[in-house]
Amino acid sequence: MGLLLCVAGLSGCSGTVVVEPGPFAADPRCAEVVLALPQTLAGGERLATSSQATVAWGDPTDPVVLRCGVEPPGPTTDDCVTADDGVTSVDWLAVPGAQEPDGGTAWTFTTYGRVPAVEVQVPASVTADRSTAFLMDLGPAVSRVEQDRRCL
């Protein structure tokens, strides 16, 4: 499930973040989600990506990456958090990666109870100096996919 990233300035890259699309990226609801996503997130500007239903923000060499159309998770014991700003509420499965020497931890967040699912990969470089509360900024876009199950 690893992301393929390309460093700007290398031949053939053109500053585009190369991201593997989700298996259900062609779902029309993913187009609605992507069109509604913010231009900035976690202090980073939106970047060009190589695949349908993907968006990246921030440093092109270590961006926050969203993929719509990933496999919806089934029942799980993974931590589930609700990002609720009083208007929209989105349940996310939160799976930590390895902790980096700088103190940050990479995280993968996947929507729970929505088909198609949306995944957000947050690099350790982002979590080292800020929280992941910016997930609430994705709520209006992600909520365009109807929720049929909730975290317990």
pLDDT single digits (tens) 28-79: 999 999 999 999 998 999 999 999 999 999 999 999 999 999 999 988 889 9
H helices present in the chain, as ranges:
28-36, 124-127, 139-142
Question: pLDDT tier at 7 (50, 70, 90 boundaries)?
Answer: very low
Residue 13: inside a domain, yes or no? Answer: no
The parent domain of residue 63 ranges over 28-142
Q: For position 127, what pLDDT does the model report?
A: 86
pLDDT single digits (tens) 86-136: 899 999 999 999 777 777 889 999 999 999 999 999 999 888 888 888 999
* Number of separate domains in the chain: 1
8 A C-beta contact, residue 82 and residue 151 = yes
Residue 35: inside a domain, yes or no? Answer: yes
Residue 71: inside a domain, yes or no? Answer: yes
Whole-angstrom distance, CA of residue 84 vs CA of residue 38: 17
